[in-house]
Amino acid sequence: MPHSKSPPIPNSIRSRHRPLLHQSTNPPVHQPTLPLPVFEGGRNRANLEAAEACYDQSLASYRGAVLAAFRDVEDSLSDLATLASQSEAVNRALVSARDTASLASERYQKGLSNYLDVVDAQRVALQAERRQAQLAGQRAVSTILLAKALGGGWEHPQTFQRPASM
């Protein structure tokens, strides 16, 4: 049966799908397409909310780290100030204890006091020296903690090396 061309009947399958039926005769046309997520079931919104939650968590973590760093710096500076004032007091006490030990030794040599006074004065002077050494160690530790809180490290500095002469 020969195929005859009949006029299209409105609202028929043939009239609605005519472009599909005759697509092989037309060359393919490449047009840019924009994929639109019409029915994603809320997946994009959920992904956006998850990304925002991740961002909020990262921001909170960053703020916490910054606040901890500021607290560490403030603590180190406060410790250094306290240790400096304690060192000044211990230095004054040490000078006084050494003077007292010297006077006790002179009094003993002149026969004005017993040797127990000399030993006691030397003990007080040695205690002041020990306290001074302890404070120096604590100041060193606090200085290291301050450098660490400020982001410093203890790497060896790279020294400049001269290139070999030609």
32 or 136: which leads in pLDDT: 136
Q: Are 100 and 125 in contact (CB under 8 A)?
A: yes
Confidence category of residue 145, pLDDT binned at 50, 70, 90:
confident
Whole-prediction pTM value? 0.56
Q: What is the pLDDT of residues 95-108, one digit of tens each?
A: 999 999 999 999 99
Q: Is residue 75 part of a domain?
A: yes
The pLDDT of residue 148 = 86
Q: Is residue 99 part of a domain?
A: yes
The pLDDT of residue 47 = 86
Q: Is residue 131 part of a domain?
A: yes
Residue 39 has pLDDT above 90, yes or no: no
The string of DSSP codes covering the chain is: ------PPPTTSHHHHSHHHHTGGGSPP---------S--TTHHHHHHHHHHHHHHHHHHHHHHHHHHHHHHHHHHHHHHHHHHHHHHHHHHHHHHHHHHHHHHHHHHHTTSS-HHHHHHHHHHHHHHHHHHHHHHHHHHHHHHHHHHHTT---PPPPPP-PPPP-
Domain assignment of residue 86, given as a range: 46-149
Q: What is the pLDDT of residues 69-78, one digit of tens each?
A: 899 899 999 9
Confidence category of residue 79, pLDDT binned at 50, 70, 90:
very high
Q: Is residue 34 part of a domain?
A: no
Q: Is residue 159 part of a domain?
A: no
The pLDDT of residue 150 = 86
Q: Is residue 156 part of a domain?
A: no
Give the separation between CA 129 and CA 47, rounded to whole angstroms: 66
Number of domains present in the structure of the chain: 1
Q: Is residue 6 part of a domain?
A: no
